Structure 1
Amino acid sequence: MDLRKSVEALWRIEAPQLIATLARRIGSLDIAEDLVSEAFVSALEQWPADGIPPRPGAWLMKTAWHKAIDRARREETARRKAPLLVAGHEGELADVADEALDPIPDDLLTMVFTTCHPVLSPESRVALTLRLFGGLTTDEVARAFLVPTATIGQRISRAKRTLAEARVPIEAPSAGELPERLRAVLDVLYAIFNEGYSASSGTNLVRADLAVEAMRMGRVLAGLSPTEPEVFGLVALMELQASRFRTRVDAAGIPVRLEDQDRRLWDRTLVEHGLSMLDRAFDLARPLGVFSLQAAISACHARAATFAVTDWVAILALYDALTQITRSPVVELNRAVAVLHVDGPEAALATTRPLLADRRMADYHLLGAVRGDILTRLGRHTEAAAELERAAELAPTRQERQLLLSRMAQALTPHNAGGQSSKEPPAQ
């Protein structure tokens, strides 16, 4: 077994919980991340000789906690806190291992509300939370949000510095603060879910661990905010999209087009629960918000027994409503797919043309994927192949690249023309 790969996998799984728990204990998000990173370095140094412990998360938590105590003792400003830190938690080092193995929703939820504090810009909130909560690298966060790596790195560093300088406490907001903080948290949770639904890098298209965590925290928020329609809209959206996880990729990990998915394998429990969450959102608000509208679009797919009977007219109407309240180019691209099925390929191609001039879409592989399929339907095979080849070059995962190259080959074979986008563009 490759130890480094095992430790990297553990980082994604364990780091968010470790950082959240440690940050609550010591009161510093930045220091908590450093300590957890040091614990993982210690693992790389010690595990080759000792072997991976039976409970690696517990080992990492105990190691990070020891390092927190050592750090407090070393720092002049913390001289008085060191004995209190040790004395106040006598016996806790024995218990901290067990605590690290069990999910502690309050810690993770508190961390998300902290990283979504109003003192930070919206972009910084998303970047910092996804970096810490998702255990993603800076490069992966950059890919997820279509911006340069250096820009994301600066946002994350600046966000940590801002939280420290503003002395933002690591605690959940009061009841009075909750509504204004909620939208930022919802945006972040959906960003995390989207990274799980369609990974921006790595060996797997789907990262179910991220998606499951986002859904779990969304449900916690729904319990805390029973009158907030967009919370229920977000939970509905995530659950309806997650219901397709079993059919998103084939046995080789290659993405499966929506029209080719075996809907009998969709998770009906998630579908039914998602639809009930959407009903709750409908009951609480008119007009619908961004997340509820997107959930309504996903519901159209979930209710269709086959791809052929999908209500594309309703989907297009929902996208029309969505474009009135958001300027996302990804939403515009999704709308083009609906236009394709309602008004035909010529109208759909025209819908995509303005996106070619949008700098945010310059490196977005799904733009070329959608345009390539539209051009194939129009019989413009050479142009279609060029679009699909460029999309393949931009694809963040090997599996997506493989599928797009296959689609390119099909585009150059007239009798294979047709089909739809190589991957469902995630509505945002």
Structure 2
Amino acid sequence: MLVLSKNNNYVLIFLSFVFVMFGFLFQVNEKVLFFSVLIYAVFFTISFKFEFLYPPVLLIPTVFIYNSSVIILDFLNIREASHIREILFSIFLAITVIGFYSAFFLKNRGRVNVVELKSMKITTGVLGGLLNVLIIILSLYVLRFIVSGVASKAELAISGSFSGFGIISKFFVFIFSLYILNYYYDYRSFPRMKLIMSLTITVLISLIIGERDVLLTIVLILMLIFYFIKKPSKIRVIVYLGVAIFLIPITSQLKAIFTRNTKPNSENVFIRIFSGEFLSSGRNYETILKYSNAWDYFYGESLLNDIKRSIVPPFIYEFKNSVHWFNSNFFTNGFNLGYGIGFSYLAEGYINFGYFGIILWYFFLMIVVTYLYNSSYKSILGLAIYLLMLPNLIYLQRGDFSYLVSPLFKQVLFFYILLTLINSLYRKK
């Protein structure tokens, strides 16, 4: 049974599907093809009622903008792109899998009601205390960065003085989500002081250390919590999302502004949206297509490596994922200096089984997302895990399958066990 809106949008989807296929079969102009795929993505998105917790409403625009930015910049004469038709066809396949899987197999549950969810055994007081401790630890990382005299977090990481920051920052985001939800469940309000403290430390981390993902993740989570608790109009939410998108190039300009030697780029903000965060996935896929003679199909091997890397701790054995393979082979100079340019989830599907691999990879993605989404309507913990994973679902587009699986094992499972132990010790006192 279809779960699209009760209107004729499915007719528009079918017509746009036929038009896109016609464009590919008869080699229509690339710009016409681009806009036909864009319209196809828009029709699918609006057909799901703009429920922003519903996976395809976030995933379809994310897939399109992350993988089409390389094409947009070509149309704007900013940079030249190759294999435009192949990239557009791959985007079309990914959107089709996400859209039709959701329409047939993923029920849209609407806005979640926090107060009706199963509560946690862990008290709000324990979560608040943990959040305070994590804020202090992150503040020490900021202070350590300042006194170290290094110019970038990469230099600090190479020296070994930055170890643990990644897991601490993820744990902070997880506890932050749990605390905000638990606090609202108990008091029907928000902890203003904790919100101010949390936002302040994430802003400092972005401005001084240059790690903006923590800030952007917190902002996204707060927007989603505000959406399903305060129930603003969808037009207002769309405006907020637009502001959030413009935050990406702005935070890119401001990150590490107090410690870096280079001046901020004066490039147009609109251009920076496509040439910054959203460029890597499409550019990396373009590289795979351009140098197709330089690699052989993996036939599922990369997926096994992603899973093994996600389950096995690196101190036991560090399996190499597709991101490592891509950067070591196609970005050698930067890779040897400790830098990377990510990869592309779209491209990982392609390097395994071609276009059929893209269909498989997004089908695997939707299976995991379906479980997370359904769990978010059962308990506060399930909702917090889903909120924690949503940014990973977005960043996944410039990574590989391990970006999806690894956080479930190395973050969510570990954090839950740690939280349970802390709560048990607290109750014994």
Report the TM-score when normalising by structure 2.
Answer: 0.30
Report the TM-score when normalising by structure 1.
Answer: 0.30
Q: Whose Rg is larger?
A: 1
Q: Which has the higher contact order (CA 8 A, sep 6+)?
A: 2
